[in-house]
């Protein structure tokens, strides 16, 4: 798997903030938004 360390950091930060603010996590929506906005950020070989 090829990934961008900075993108992973931003995604993890967003997950933590979502948990603090909303009390729940929606990993699917976060991953989908990252994929739409920055296609190719995470690639599976």
Res 39 pLDDT > 70: yes
Number of Cβ atoms within 10 Å of the Cβ of 11: 19
Question: Residue 1: pLDDT above 60?
Answer: no
**C-alpha distance from residue 44 to each of 3, 11, 21, 40 (Å):** 9, 17, 31, 9
Residue range 18-36, pLDDT digits in tens: 999 999 988 888 888 877 8
Q: What is the pLDDT of residue 2?
A: 61
Domain ranges of the chain: 2-43
Which is higher by pLDDT, 42 or 7?
7
Residues whose CB falls within 8 Å of the CB of residue 24, separated by 6 or more in sequence, listed in order: 18
pTM above 0.75, yes or no: no
Whether 6 has a pLDDT exceeding 90, the answer reads: no
């Amino acid at each position: 798997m090829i990934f961008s360390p900075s993108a992973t950091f931003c995604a993890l930060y967003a997950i933590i903030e979502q948990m603090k603010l909303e009390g729940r996590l929606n990993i699917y929506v976060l991953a989908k938004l990252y994929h739409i906005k920055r296609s190719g950020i995470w690639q599976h070989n």
